[in-house]
Structure 1
Amino acid sequence: MKYKEIISKMTREEKASLMSGKDFWQTMDIERLGIPSIFLADGPHGIRKQAEAADHLGLNESIPATCFPTAATVANSWNEELAMQMGTYLGKEAVEQKVNVLLGPGINMKRSPLSGRNFEYFSEDPYLAGKLAAGMIKGIQSYGISACVKHFAVNNQEERRMSIDTIVDERTLREMYLTAFEMAVKEGETKAVMSAYNKLNGEYTNENMDLMKQILRDDWNYDGVVVTDWGGSNERVAGLIAGNELEMPTTAGETNQDIVTAIESGEIKEDVLDQCVDRLLDLVFTTEKAFKQKPKTVDKKEHHQMAQRVAEESIILLKNEANILPLQQDKTVAVIGDFARETRYQGAGSSIVNPTFLDHPLDLLEETELNSIGYEQGFDRYGKRSTRKINKACALAEQADVVLLYMGLDEVTEAEGLDRQSMDIPANQIELLDALYEVNPNIVVVLSCGAAVEMPWMTKVKGLVHAYLSGQAGAKAVQRIITGAVNPSGKLAETYPLRYEDTPASHQFPGKEVSVEYREGPYIGYRYYDTADVNVLFPFGYGLSYTSFGYSDIKVSEEGVTFNITNTGEVAGKEVAQLYVRCQSKAIFRPDKELKGFIKVDLNAGETKTVTLLFDDKTFRYFNVKTNQWEIESADYKIMIGAASDDIRLEDVIFIEGTEAPLPYDKDKLPSYYSGKVNDVSIEEFETLLGHKVPDPKWDRNKPLGYNDTIAQCQYAKGLFARFAFKLIKLSHKFLWKIGKRDTANLIMMSVYHMPFRGYARMTGGVINMPMVDGVLMIVNGHFFKGMRHVLRERKKLVKLNKDKGEFGTSKTGEGEVL
């Protein structure tokens, strides 16, 4: 241990106190030993440090900080160096705001396009996500503070995220859902990892010994800190045994006492606690050094310009019929759409950043050379239909050569804690587009959303620029792309299917009650579409440019692949070359191709560059469930260089000597997985892949509700009061949504409806404790008066205890928490 001497001077109670927060965002300090508190703040794409009332939901405004493009946007840059540079800017701002641990990046896989938090994650591909995350982590930590990669692991839905049980086979887990984390740990050398809320194959992730001990600590040699997601601790002692050092936020000492009691009873040895304290102290002392240097002064304009640069490399040109873009100066333009007036630039929830500046498209019109003839709102961003708005927009469009239409998803549709209900753009926007097409077919759409959407309207637009959620300077970046000042170079980090029903997990997303089954196995995103030969709207890796590129002269060796790229057009541009690998053997099922490398190349018109992509330890491996380790199959491997997953320009073959491991599968029993057609796998075949039976995915309606059950389940409760509360919450949500209070309606679903009962103790900083939750559960289960007496009695005890400690009347979490 590094801090054995300090730890030897601590009481058992002091050591336990370090294992949970001091308040909502800070760790506990021990002044007599010189151990300071450290501050943790949300920050996947900008610092969200709240100056006053603390919450985890993005309700209260934070100190202004640069709002960079979200991870879903940055991924489209396919530029690891750019991600690292963005990370350095984040790290510098964190130091200025005295933030020790920046809670990001988020690297969960995009299993389904409907996952509500996709805007905060990089990709459907673990290699791309891992490389970009590693780069960003290096940048953040270059200033001495810590990144905190999240959410470990398989947190791929928002509905019931605090209690859902993710059922996934071991090979899929390792190859698809853990590889990006492995890269973040090994290549990015992250100092902190955040455990996910959900269960993994029956155990909460922060208590899962296979995940936390065997894989994270032993296989990957991780020696940093694991912190729970806020309110994400189930059994505190079980989490500590698994190596989960820090529980956040504070529980006002309740779970610290659980640790002390467990040691005193012999349930765990004190060495377990000491090891966790040692790792936490290392995080505390190493990050505190960042603030002892000369204070970093942030140039807000410089950081705004960096946000613009990231956006410019990440925005994607998806359609450019008849070269309608870039817009010509002699063409008149009608600007239409609510998102032109008030830009959509980030998601909702704990990652909300209070930007230092904020560009809006309309405000920038005077700076451009666009020949604008005016603006019309055209639609209400929250979906309300208006014939008057459409008619006014059409009247303006008739007078213009080109219609510049800003469309997208609104702020309450893409939010933490809630999954999307469909892949549709709101109907009132499509109604407007249809009407505009009738009067002027020269339409260029600027799309703003953080995840894939269906586009049955694509035939009615000539140009499509996808801005994703491009941060506070995104509007300026879009303007520079549509005017030709910047040549677009973004490429999709996720596939756009023709319709939701085409997605491999459509039958198994989200898990509604006890569990969610990953029956599609490793076939997510392009791995499925390319293997099962399913047509898509836009393939993984796709993106247009104002120039063209040629590929030639491929050479493959045991070290890697070399080839030439030539800019065959008339303007300078950047091309993303992608390395895919296909195993030619059919002995073990695999996707048709898998991304194993990429590079972004900057080329002047007519210029040729020679590019080399090296193979690494992930190029040919697969996880063998029989040997329980990574293996390589002896086989011919096709090496493919492409401009997108379906646009392969160069090919060659190399034989790779393998590890000669035993075959892990019986091919005859897994026909769906060997064909890749996995969008509707039977439960019997899935259980064969798993190697065991799946749990019943439905709630037991006759069982009393417990700590990990939710308000949603109160519809089946024995207690009349609980059933009434359930109906009241449902009615409140419906009413608030109808009157336009959609943020509040979403908040009810996220922080009340889907919150496990234990969460009310874990998230209220000691205002409610677990004995009080016991009383609430008595009420819920039909013992109203007994339960109410228990709640009042335990509340009285808690008040007295706090008075005795001199703490009564002071909330440890600040004001404004959601109870």
Structure 2
Amino acid sequence: MFKSYSFSKISYFTIFLLLVASNFVESLFNKENAEYIDDEESHDDPNDNDYLAKNIDYYVPPSYPAPLTGRLQLIPEWADAIAKARDIVSVLSITEKVNLTTGIGYGSGVCQANLGTIEKLDISSICFQNGAHGVSNTDFATNFPSTLAAGSTFNKDLVYQLGRAVARESKTKGIDVLMGPGLNVGYHAAGGHNTENFGSDPYLIGKLASAFIKASNYEGVLSCPKGLIGFEQEHFKHSNEWENGKYKHLKQPLDVQITDKVMHEIYLWPFADAVRANAGCFACSYNKINGTYACENSYLINHLLKEELGFQGFVTSEIGAMRSGVNSILSGADVNIPGDIFGDYASGKSLWGPLLTRAIYNETIPQYRLNDMVTRLLSAFIVNNVKIPLSNDFEELPNFSSWSQFTYDKEYPFQSYGSIKQVNKHIDAREKFTEKVALQTAREAIVLLKHTKSALPISVDDGYNRMLIAGIGSVTSPEGVDVEDALTGDGAVYQSWGPNSVSAFNAISPADVIYKKAVERDLLVDIVTNEYDIDNIERSAELANVAIVFAFANSGDSGSEIDGNYGDRKNYTLWANNVEMIKSVADRCAKTIVVINSPGPVDLEDFIDHKNIVGVLWSAPLGQYYAQAISDIIFGDYQPSGNLPFTISKHAENYVDIIDRVPLNGKPVDDLNRLLDYRYFDEMNIVPRYPFGHGLTYTKFKLFDLTIVEKRQPSVDLSKPDPYLDPYFFEHTSVEDPSEALFPFSEFKPVPGHIYPYLYNTKVYSQPFYNYPTGYKPDIDCDFENDPTCDAPPRAGGTLGGNPDLFEVLYKIKASVENIGGYEGYYTAQLYVEFPRGRHAPTTHVRQLRGIDKVFVKKGYTKKIKFELTTRDLSYWDVEDQTWVIYPGIYKIYIGSSSRKFDLLGEIDISSSKN
């Protein structure tokens, strides 16, 4: 494989000398064609000395050309899939290939994004839809718990079932590509889309995402994880948001800065797991990374993802994230959805589409690049046995419209265009299996933070006879649960707001379910939902001998705001009058239980130590079964087993603030290199309120009998990966007559806003030459087409996810857990590794999660917990040598129930002689 520079033994000074040139240039096309423009954003000039002086630590070399798929010595399934995809590509014209890479426009298809059709092969429009927690923008679909809630289950097997359930409903609705889950790491605790991610640890995210992806693919829906890479907040993901007030000087989206070491050990980690799990697609994010937009970052896509991680599928944009035409394609982006430009939807303007067609005809983009883009798309479907949609298979086509909930509407509701037709069939996608999984996930996601005086579960045998249910969070919003994009700041939180929200679901209020169960147990129940009516709340609290107080906070997409929360939360306080209500009730009721529903950490300090607060339950948004799940936990019908997927601090200053101010130059920057979550608290010796992984149960467990068995002798260095296979080139690569790509006006009437791949004239040159991005050479040093021996994978690469050695199991670790309490329940075993310290040791020596095993244990019984440690788990990223390295020394093993509570300790001695 060809690339710009070898990283072997390269120094930072050498990198500096190599990288003085820009990776940003103007796009190929002038604005001569009034129907289309090219670049949306203005680009920085990295040649600027001030820029270099400020950003040299984050500078990375360009990596061109984009790697061809199928050159790794892959498993037969991938090789066969790529061969079949090539057979399809070989019969396609240029415009047909472009039709499979460019979305047809926002609202031009029935899904949130659709690709074009290939009539001669009966290939229908491939449907992309948001929905890791349920099918968005339709009806008769389950509102599943959020991805963050799934993360707090710490249960790989359950998340696998969740992936199957979500995909099964998606398939019933006719969806081909499920946009999700998110693989961001919650660097900003107040980030607006944190509920779309699994938590704040890359190991946890990787394991759970792998389970979800495998399950979705198994059910016949291609999972497309989002957030590549560093998309950690909502503020400034677009340059034209919030154009007034304090944001009016914004000139570009947020530029996140990530060092090479942090990139590999934190942000890229779960993506490697996703590649191993056969993810066929990744969505590049909105932000810049080290000065370059994610969707045109050649180092990120070409080098890290496609070379180092060996990714063979396709890279698409998050909806509306594509910022350029030629640059993004040369940098490795394969698909642009929805096809048009953010903020200019339904205009027919695209950075790809006809401009990509023109770039192929004038040979600015080589045709082998376009061939590879389509090959990657098709082979991702084929290898995962996901059916490519066919226009003659009506049962498999989408049976809903994302743009209208009516049964009959105009054919293109978003554009208000076309004749009246049936746009929604209202197919019920729900099944007993999917509903069961949604409820079970909601139950296991609830975290018991505090429990004293054996107050839970509630039983009349403990003297309870009168209950107070307090707070507007105990009932559904006065606006209803079907409000558009779930945009509401009052009532129970079932989901965060934004385009991922699930519409028209059946939601029962927690107060109703708890009331019913309490009455069945002969309790008298008072319900006060107005949390500002403190006098009434206090009177009711004085009469109750147990109180359930509901508190909440919410977040969502930056396209909307609630009370100044522009997607991201503006602080960590509970919303409305929650805190005053909690304290008022606790002052008057000796057994007060607080239920908190929020998208991340919240400030608990004003009430958490109150002697009368005997129980605190937390959960991320739990979807439509929130009420059922929380009542099951409160009354003991089900035992709490959730664990915090992040750290709750005693002080807000220990979190990393959202970047919410625009600097004078209009270009906000975010440094993402502070130690993540519990690593920071451990390194700085800060005592959290509740540590990562914390979660109490109603029973007690005892751990014993730790054994560590070496299965393979560790090697300090990775072995050299197998060389690349010969590159494949299609026989017919000559550029056709551009007149063959002209718009066929005689065949059909264009739909307004629809993006077509056709040329409007045969003039395919708009300027005499194209100023390619720095590092890209049209005439490459290695004669790619005539010399098949070009390069080999980087040392860290070689197979799906990276070097094969990384995934070899070195140690198997076992222990026993006994349930010595009075209830059956789950125990979540967590294994942490502390890296060696020493003069030449890596700086990464804080404890890191490297194992999770959740087991169900009946009272009085014992179960085995099992872990495996791979080479990757014990390695650190060597920036100088650009590879993973095991440092000789003592690796300490900690096993327990959180990042701060350990019951078993062990050691692994890896000597320098083990090579």
1:250 partner SS: coil
**Maintained 8 Å contact 1:117/1:415:** no
> 1:230: which partner in 2?
319
2:87 and 2:433 map into 1 onto residues whose CA distance is 45
The answer to whether the aligner puts 1:566 opposite 2:719 as a matched pair is no
The answer to whether the aligner puts 1:90 opposite 2:166 as a matched pair is yes
2:220 and 2:581 map into 1 onto residues whose CA distance is 51
Q: Which letter maps to 1:656? A: I
1:157 partner SS: coil
Deviation string 1:74-101 (CA, Å, 9 cap, x unpaired) is 1111000000001111111011100000
Report the more deviating stretch, 462-471 or 366-375. Answer: 366-375
> 2:667: which partner in 1?
514
The answer to whether the aligner puts 1:645 opposite 2:899 as a matched pair is yes
**Maintained 8 Å contact 1:315/1:478:** yes
1:540 and 1:15 map into 2 onto residues whose CA distance is 47
- CA pair 182-313 structure 1, distance change in 2 beyond 3 A: same
- CA pair 415-130 structure 1, distance change in 2 beyond 3 A: farther
1:414 and 1:571 map into 2 onto residues whose CA distance is 44
The answer to whether the aligner puts 1:139 opposite 2:215 as a matched pair is yes
> 1:201: which partner in 2?
290
**Maintained 8 Å contact 1:38/1:284:** no
Q: Which letter maps to 1:220? A: L
> 2:155: which partner in 1?
79
- CA pair 480-655 structure 1, distance change in 2 beyond 3 A: same
**Maintained 8 Å contact 1:64/1:353:** no
Q: Which letter maps to 2:444? A: E
1:262 partner SS: helix
Deviation string 1:377-406 (CA, Å, 9 cap, x unpaired) is 132xxxxxx3xx111111111111011111
**Maintained 8 Å contact 1:344/1:410:** yes
Deviation string 1:703-739 (CA, Å, 9 cap, x unpaired) is xxxxxxxxxxxxxxxxxxxxxxxxxxxxxxxxxxxxx
The answer to whether the aligner puts 1:337 opposite 2:467 as a matched pair is no
The answer to whether the aligner puts 1:270 opposite 2:367 as a matched pair is yes
The answer to whether the aligner puts 1:577 opposite 2:577 as a matched pair is no
TM score, norm. by length of structure 2: 0.67
| Matched positions, count | 638
Give how far 1:612 is off: 2.1
Deviation string 1:355-389 (CA, Å, 9 cap, x unpaired) is 5421211221224445242200132xxxxxx3xx1
Q: Which letter maps to 2:441? A: V
**Maintained 8 Å contact 2:891/2:907:** yes
1:337 and 1:502 map into 2 onto residues whose CA distance is 29
Q: 1:478 aligns with which of 608, 618, 630?
A: 630
**Maintained 8 Å contact 1:159/1:510:** no
1:225 and 1:263 map into 2 onto residues whose CA distance is 19
> 1:400: which partner in 2?
544
Backbone CA RMSD of aligned residues: 2.4
**Maintained 8 Å contact 2:824/2:859:** yes
Give how far 1:301 is off: 4.6
Q: 1:30 aligns with which of 78, 93, 118?
A: 118
1:433 partner SS: helix
- CA pair 411-177 structure 1, distance change in 2 beyond 3 A: closer
2:897 partner SS: strand
**Maintained 8 Å contact 2:233/2:658:** no
Q: 1:598 aligns with which of 852, 857, 869?
A: 852
Give how far 1:23 is off: 3.2
1:303 and 1:544 map into 2 onto residues whose CA distance is 27
Which structure 1 residue ranges, 5 or more long, are not aligned? 51-61, 380-385, 662-819
> 1:616: which partner in 2?
870
> 1:348: which partner in 2?
497
Give how far 1:642 is off: 1.3
2:182 partner SS: coil
> 1:261: which partner in 2?
358
> 1:309: which partner in 2?
440
1:413 and 1:507 map into 2 onto residues whose CA distance is 14
> 1:242: which partner in 2?
331
Alignment of 1:34-53 (within 5 A): 34-48=122-136, 50=137
1:583 and 1:244 map into 2 onto residues whose CA distance is 37
The answer to whether the aligner puts 1:326 opposite 2:457 as a matched pair is yes
Alignment of 1:457-472 (within 5 A): 457-460=607-610, 461-472=613-624
Q: Which letter maps to 2:690? A: F
> 1:11: which partner in 2?
93
Give how far 1:542 is off: 0.4
> 1:185: which partner in 2?
275
- CA pair 33-304 structure 1, distance change in 2 beyond 3 A: closer
**Maintained 8 Å contact 1:65/1:356:** yes
TM score, norm. by length of structure 1: 0.74
Q: Which letter maps to 2:93? A: T
- CA pair 8-300 structure 1, distance change in 2 beyond 3 A: closer
The answer to whether the aligner puts 1:451 opposite 2:604 as a matched pair is no
The answer to whether the aligner puts 1:210 opposite 2:299 as a matched pair is yes
2:559 and 2:202 map into 1 onto residues whose CA distance is 23
Give how far 1:11 is off: 3.1
Q: 2:186 aligns with which of 110, 120, 139?
A: 110
**Maintained 8 Å contact 2:99/2:115:** no
> 2:403: which partner in 1?
none
**Maintained 8 Å contact 2:573/2:603:** yes
Give how far 1:519 is off: 6.0
2:359 and 2:914 map into 1 onto residues whose CA distance is 46
Give how far 1:280 is off: 2.2
1:105 partner SS: strand
Alignment of 1:262-301 (within 5 A): 262-283=359-380, 287-288=386-387, 298-301=429-432
**Maintained 8 Å contact 2:818/2:860:** yes
Q: Which letter maps to 2:266? A: M
> 1:701: which partner in 2?
none
Q: 1:589 aligns with which of 839, 843, 858?
A: 843
- CA pair 514-310 structure 1, distance change in 2 beyond 3 A: same
1:102 partner SS: strand
1:264 and 1:92 map into 2 onto residues whose CA distance is 41
The answer to whether the aligner puts 1:166 opposite 2:256 as a matched pair is yes
**Maintained 8 Å contact 1:117/1:414:** no
2:645 and 2:678 map into 1 onto residues whose CA distance is 10
Q: Which letter maps to 1:214? A: H
2:375 partner SS: helix
Q: Which letter maps to 2:265? A: E
Alignment of 1:349-364 (within 5 A): 349-364=498-513
2:262 partner SS: helix
- CA pair 338-412 structure 1, distance change in 2 beyond 3 A: farther
The answer to whether the aligner puts 1:656 opposite 2:910 as a matched pair is yes
2:912 and 2:568 map into 1 onto residues whose CA distance is 42
**Maintained 8 Å contact 1:38/1:288:** no
Give how far 1:157 is off: 1.2
- CA pair 412-618 structure 1, distance change in 2 beyond 3 A: closer
> 2:233: which partner in 1?
157
Give how far 1:620 is off: 0.5
> 1:813: which partner in 2?
none
Which structure 2 residue ranges, 5 or more long, are not aligned? 1-82, 107-112, 239-252, 341-347, 397-426, 477-491, 561-565, 711-810
> 2:525: which partner in 1?
373
2:681 and 2:236 map into 1 onto residues whose CA distance is 28
Q: Which letter maps to 1:560? A: K
Q: Which letter maps to 1:313? A: E
- CA pair 650-531 structure 1, distance change in 2 beyond 3 A: same
Deviation string 1:192-217 (CA, Å, 9 cap, x unpaired) is 11111111111111111111111211
**Maintained 8 Å contact 2:141/2:429:** no
Q: Which letter maps to 1:514? A: K
> 1:747: which partner in 2?
none
Give how far 1:507 is off: 8.7
2:231 and 2:540 map into 1 onto residues whose CA distance is 46
Q: Which letter maps to 1:608? A: T
1:447 and 1:297 map into 2 onto residues whose CA distance is 32
**Maintained 8 Å contact 1:338/1:377:** yes
